Structure 1
Amino acid sequence: MSETLQTAAAPEAGANPLLQPWQTPFETPPFAEIEPEHFLPAFERAFADHAAEIAAITHDPTLPDFANTITALERSGKLLSKVAAVFYDLVSAHSNPAILEIDKEVSLRMARHWNPIMMNAVLFGRIAMLHEKRAQLGLTAEQMRLLERTYTNFYRAGAGLDEAAKKRRAEINERLAQLGTSFSHHLLGDEQDWFMELGEDDRAGLPEAFVAAAKATAEERGMAGKAIVTLSRSSVEPFLKSSSRRDLREKVFKAFTARGDNGNANDNNATIVEILALREEAAKIMGFATYAAYRLEDSMAKTPEAVRGLLERVWKPARARALADRDALQELITEEGGNFSLAPWDWRYYAEKLRQRRADFDDAAIKPYLVLDHMIEAAFDCATRLFGITFAERKDVPVWHPDVRVWEVKDAAGQHKALFYGDYFARSSKRSGAWMTSLRDQQKLDGEIAPLIINVCNFARGANGEPSLLSPDDARTLFHEFGHGLHGMLSNVTYPSLSGTSVFTDFVELPSQLYEHWQEQPQVLRQFAKHYQTGEPLPDDLLQRFLAARKFNQGFATVEFVSSALIDLEFHTQPAEASRDVGAFEKAELEKIGMPAEIALRHRPTQFGHIFSGDHYASGYYSYMWSEVMDADAFGAFEEAGDIFDPATAKRLHDDIYSSGGSRDPEDAYVAFRGREPEADALLRRRGLLEATPAA
């Protein structure tokens, strides 16, 4: 798409809703008015405006001070933030071929815009001068944190490099932006292209609710009257748990794990090789031996060795538990007369059978009680009881798809706090997974700016007017993403760069994973888990069996995750040359750690969007587990108080964790809340792995 074509096709600026004030409730994006062709002209204007703002700061003739340099930087780029937030929401949650084509160009243009800003020697000189004399500037704690983060971000972007190194670093950034976009587009392409139709004979073992959801998915794809399995995790995992057709389980599993690895136009192997080589080169330009060393320097973990230490500590008992469970599953197969060895596509199916036997519980029994709407109410109610905020649905706020719902959030005094958008159902225009993002972040630099926070999930829709029913994992995901949402909604900082989830990657999962704990509390489930047909509350015996079964199969779940985190770490600590054959590298690393053959990585490399569709979690997938050490320990504060909604503990949680954003050092924030550093064994206790069987 050439620039001349863009300009020729561009609508008049006056007609571009992205460049006008939004006359909508709470000045929200008017999605119905926004067309794909509006984005490139809007980005052009936003890039130009931002460049002019940066030039004014850089060439300010007065001596640098906090206001004319750091605060001015915080005020710059408002239009760019506004346009980009809308665009990337659509790219991820409701794309189409036109949007994806524009994404290819925007990713490159974004890199070309930011490189000269972040490597601007004159601008960095102003920031460095302030940083050097920061103790004499009389700054508030938040201002000091902002100055330190600004200096660090510019330094790590290469602002202190010589011109030749800057030029090469900029070229690498541009190419990585293109490759990350290609990776995510390839993955979406493979996911969109594949489905498996379920004939009457193909439905053996599948619960009615799953078949109903499969029919709803088919209808959404224009195949009314049929039922299909797609490559959305919310479709694949329940199928693998329930289907008694081993041949179909194998077919679905192999398609799911082959995404991005099919030798077709969507193949990601070459993309990964180039990404890893460029990241390694960028790290060496910055003076680091490996990309992992570069990335982790600016994290809570600090070093690859610290990450590996945590992962290996968890790996050993998790692998031991998984091997013991594997043997029990194989015995079950033999007992049933099966003449085959347990395979990865069998694990979930037989684990469900074993769980029913050992804990007298299976997901299908509780699913009718986990109605999506009721679980949303539960997430809201817990937030009300903890933090005093309330939620009221709004029908007058524009949305990007008819499925999206919006709630106005008010604080305990009844004042407007935020808007919360929930986009819960899987569809072909949405990438897989679940995530939180924002259309606008909270800040107080120029008056109170209330945030617009989004949760996106991929739950299966109920068919024929039936409600959507969640698995326990789905319900946990809903609370997890809502925890991220609260981090954005409760943010109470002055500066945009420190707002909400603008924290270290290995701290950002604390508010989300901590919030999961409330979803499985008996008093919450007794109130909100009600049968979708009868309205009857969850029977107490089923509740007790559910709670007892929570630690079942944790060896599998932990092995699945930790192996992926270790692969991520190895990709970014070993020389890039070692992974030129991605499949061989994957195989060798799994052999090295003794990966059970019957368990697959949670994310095989060619579909590992966390680390390859951008760099946010590159060398950082371990972050979920690093945060879990804190969240398992943090919930203990409520348990010790004897009340999961204890007001004093909730106030500390609000003030020190959820509302402080990136305005303070995360270790200081945690200690302020808990009174001490986290106790590492809390994670192993939570997962039931402290007394695992010794490894074979």
Structure 2
Amino acid sequence: MSESPIQLPETVNELKEIVSRVQALLVSSGDDLVAVPADQRNIENTLLKLQEAQSQAAAMQTQCTFPSMDVYGILRQLDHSSDAGHCYDPITHRLLKHTLRLFERHGAALSEVDQQKLMNYRTEISGLELDFQKALNEDTTDILLSADELEGCTEAWMSGLAKTEKNGRHLYKVTMKTPDILNVSRNASLPETRRRVATTYRQVCTSTNGPILERLIRVRHDAAVLLGYKSHAAYQLDINMAKTVENVEDFLDTILKSISGKLESDKKELLDLKKAEYQKRGWSDQYDGVLYAWDVKYYQEILFKEKYAVDNSLIQEYFELNYVRDQIMGIYAKIFQLRFEQIPGKYWADDVTLFAVYDQKAQNQAGEEGKKNPSAFKIGYFYLDLFPRPGKYAHQCVVPLRPSYVVSGTMEQVLPVGNLSRPTADRPALLKHSEANTFFHEFGHVCHAMSSKARYSLFNFSWSVVPYPTSLAMDFLEVPSIMLENWLWEPTVLKRLGRHYKTGNELPDDLIASLTKTRKVIKGLLFSQQIAVTAIDLKLHTLNPYTRPETIPELWQQMSESLVGVKLESGEGVNPACQLYHIAMGYDAGYYVYSWSEMHAHDLYTRFTDKTTEGNTHSDERTRALDGQLGREYWEKVLVPGATVEPIELLRDFLGREPNTEAFQRFLTEP
């Protein structure tokens, strides 16, 4: 028997039994609240009893509802009583306010007729979102290409592709999964190959997800209007840091204006490379002076090699997955003063691993007592599920499996899900620097999820896949991990992570220097592309879908090409929105959170660059990236509180001042 902290249900009957137990628990808790005489109701025998039941239900991992009108009425009564105003601490008072807000956002203040309407809308929305994701997860689209058509792609990657024969030709199956798409877009030297793969990808699931998305946006709009909001975007932003659609639009407009010059110079730099290559290969008559979507990553790769002497294929040989994984854990252990221990065992897939996490600082402070009972300092577990397989979610993310809250001492368990290139017969799994960066980012979410010491599960780390009520603002939850991405650009950290999978040599200083210089290469163009997707998502959920004149593909193409100036894929069935997981998994009207979070992340990172006096400049020698004292302060001030206080207060506490956009704007515009 392994030490696995949860036993996953193995049959449908076991799953049904868990659901039944949770339903019984929640119904019983509701009955208990109603049974308390009106003159005896207080915070302890209503709100805290309810929260404890919800926490237990969340720990059993399911999503159930219970009759809400009576419970909501009871809690509203408390909100207007003196008991709620001054008899309890601020966190419990915040719990009451947030609980009421969640009830209201789920329709508790509506009439019974409108509640039923909302329930029908929500049921349909959930089904549509699941269908959208299921189509992408189960998609098996591929394109057959010959070795000649894959000219420029590495033999190492091609050796891992499935092969077939057709009409006497030996062909490779290129899937529409991230590793294959990236390899072709970066390395395939024939523009027609890149165009075909890019266009095929933009046709993935359009026949299924296109109609789903049109309907989904309409039903979301209807539900938001029923709740009293002008649009679904207004409903989503109401509980975030940004608060209003107008605030996000102003933010996007400010950033786009500040990087407009950089955007134009970036596009010119790539077009110059394209023109030079066409001349060199004798294709001058085919050069049309247009930068296409399938050109960007390819010429970015050439730019890395020619101007910065960066060969990503070579750098990849220094980032062997298991070594990088261990080093990343070592870095996090150092900066946050933790300890990670792998727990042997077999789980839902052969390559899934389980780790326990301990608070090393607390154990050290306990002295001899800490050595006698190290298990007392365990703060959680996490699984690593890193490779693609049929039917698995195809993106990278962290999924909390159970909440962390002090009342019952439950330890947080999280599932970092990735889809990295598998090892082949002749070499181990090797990560691109971008994949190592993603791994580091996602591991930041792991630590955030496990750090909580909140008394109530409502204040836990969360995002849309969490199947229990939470209240962490969506436009803050990415901030801590985006801030930590800075570590993957620090020479001291890269030196520690990089070791050649054959020779064991460290990543050379010249490669590190070249790599770090590329961080801002065509940043204006790349960030503009991200802003375009953000603006499209926001527009789709702000406009009235019943009167919007454009279809979703038309709106996408018009806005993207207008904001970025890069020609998109075109043709029958092309619809980029149909491959955007985020739009169907809780980031609807919320894709802005990445750029919004990056703004605050760069501000936070100023503490780690040791710029303590005016006039100082950043240098590698002055970095405090591996400063365990400062890292622990970040853990305790930014991660541990969770949603117990407003995000802006967390930022102020760690920065010691008001947050601002200065560091972010410098990052985007300075060389």
Above 0.5 in TM-score? yes
User: Which residue pairs with 1:10 in the alignment?
Assistant: none
- Per-residue deviation, 1:619: 1.2
Q: State the AA in 2 paired with 1:565.
A: T
CA distance in 2, matches of 1:209, 1:674: 46
User: Which residue pairs with 1:679 in the alignment?
Assistant: 660
Task: Give matches, 1:331-342, under 5 Å.
Answer: 331-336=272-277, 337=279, 338=283, 339-341=286-288, 342=291
The counterpart of 2:625, out of the listed 613, 632, 644, is: 644
User: Which residue pairs with 2:404 in the alignment?
Assistant: 442
The alpha-carbon distance between structure 1 residues 422 and 477, as it changes in their structure 2 partners (threshold 3 A), is: same
Contact 1:438 1:453 in 2 (8 A): yes
User: Which residue pairs with 2:454 in the alignment?
Assistant: 493
- Post-superposition Cα deviations, 1:538-580, rounded to whole Å, max 9, x if no partner, equal 1101110001111112123212211111011101111112167
User: Which residue pairs with 1:610 in the alignment?
Assistant: 582
CA distance in 2, matches of 1:558, 1:637: 24
Q: State the AA in 2 paired with 1:493.
A: A
Contact 1:329 1:351 in 2 (8 A): yes
Contact 2:43 2:83 in 1 (8 A): no
Q: State the AA in 1 paired with 2:256.
A: W
3-state SS of paired residue (1:424): coil
User: Which residue pairs with 1:565 in the alignment?
Assistant: 534
- Per-residue deviation, 1:67: 1.7
CA distance in 2, matches of 1:151, 1:241: 50
Q: What TM-score do you get using the length of structure 2 for normalisation?
A: 0.87
User: Which residue pairs with 1:364 in the alignment?
Assistant: 313
The counterpart of 1:53, out of the listed 21, 29, 33, is: 29
CA distance in 2, matches of 1:660, 1:552: 36
- Per-residue deviation, 1:483: 0.7
Q: State the AA in 2 paired with 1:347.
A: V
- Per-residue deviation, 1:297: 1.4
Q: State the AA in 2 paired with 1:125.
A: G
Contact 2:150 2:193 in 1 (8 A): no
The counterpart of 2:492, out of the listed 523, 535, 540, is: 523
- Post-superposition Cα deviations, 1:83-113, rounded to whole Å, max 9, x if no partner, equal 546xxxxxxxxxxxxxxxxxxxxxxxx5xx5
CA distance in 1, matches of 2:236, 2:665: 27
3-state SS of paired residue (1:677): coil
* 1:297 and 2:259 are equivalent in the alignment: no
- Per-residue deviation, 1:532: 0.8
CA distance in 2, matches of 1:139, 1:344: 57
User: Which residue pairs with 1:509 in the alignment?
Assistant: 478
The counterpart of 1:428, out of the listed 390, 396, 414, is: 390
The alpha-carbon distance between structure 1 residues 673 and 599, as it changes in their structure 2 partners (threshold 3 A), is: farther
Contact 2:147 2:172 in 1 (8 A): no
Contact 2:488 2:494 in 1 (8 A): yes
- Per-residue deviation, 1:248: 2.1
The counterpart of 1:205, out of the listed 144, 152, 165, is: 152
User: Which residue pairs with 1:281 in the alignment?
Assistant: 222
CA distance in 1, matches of 2:608, 2:116: 52
- Per-residue deviation, 1:508: 0.2
User: Which residue pairs with 1:254 in the alignment?
Assistant: 199
The counterpart of 2:179, out of the listed 234, 238, 245, is: 234
CA distance in 1, matches of 2:505, 2:199: 39
CA distance in 1, matches of 2:132, 2:222: 20
User: Which residue pairs with 1:470 in the alignment?
Assistant: 431
The alpha-carbon distance between structure 1 residues 465 and 75, as it changes in their structure 2 partners (threshold 3 A), is: farther
User: Which residue pairs with 1:386 in the alignment?
Assistant: 335
Task: Give matches, 1:36-435, under 5 Å.
Answer: 36-61=12-37, 63-77=40-54, 80-82=57-59, 84=61, 113-114=64-65, 117=67, 120-132=68-80, 133=82, 136-189=85-138, 192-214=139-161, 228-261=173-206, 263=207, 267-336=208-277, 337=279, 338=283, 339-341=286-288, 342-396=291-345, 398-412=346-360, 413=363, 414=374, 415-435=377-397
User: Which residue pairs with 1:627 in the alignment?
Assistant: 597
- Per-residue deviation, 1:526: 0.9
Contact 1:70 1:147 in 2 (8 A): yes
The alpha-carbon distance between structure 1 residues 82 and 143, as it changes in their structure 2 partners (threshold 3 A), is: closer
User: Which residue pairs with 1:656 in the alignment?
Assistant: 637
CA distance in 2, matches of 1:345, 1:153: 43
- Per-residue deviation, 1:226: 8.1
- Post-superposition Cα deviations, 1:246-266, rounded to whole Å, max 9, x if no partner, equal 2221221112122221x3xxx
CA distance in 2, matches of 1:134, 1:666: 27
* 1:35 and 2:16 are equivalent in the alignment: no
- Post-superposition Cα deviations, 1:434-488, rounded to whole Å, max 9, x if no partner, equal 1111222211112x22111111111111201622111121111101110111101
Contact 1:134 1:144 in 2 (8 A): no
3-state SS of paired residue (1:351): helix
Task: Give matches, 1:524-539, under 5 Å.
Answer: 524-539=493-508
Contact 1:438 1:451 in 2 (8 A): yes
3-state SS of paired residue (1:438): strand
Q: State the AA in 2 paired with 1:562.
A: I
User: Which residue pairs with 1:455 in the alignment?
Assistant: 416
Q: Unpaired runs of 5+ in structure 1?
A: 1-22, 86-109, 220-224, 692-696
CA distance in 1, matches of 2:250, 2:582: 21
Q: State the AA in 2 paired with 1:554.
A: K
- Per-residue deviation, 1:325: 2.5
Larger mean CA deviation between 317-326 and 162-171 belongs to: 317-326
CA distance in 2, matches of 1:505, 1:483: 16
CA distance in 2, matches of 1:427, 1:201: 28
- Per-residue deviation, 1:364: 1.7
CA distance in 1, matches of 2:119, 2:202: 34
Q: What TM-score do you get using the length of structure 1 for normalisation?
A: 0.84
In the comparison of the two structures, how many residue pairs are matched?
Answer: 619
CA distance in 2, matches of 1:349, 1:529: 24
- Per-residue deviation, 1:425: 1.1
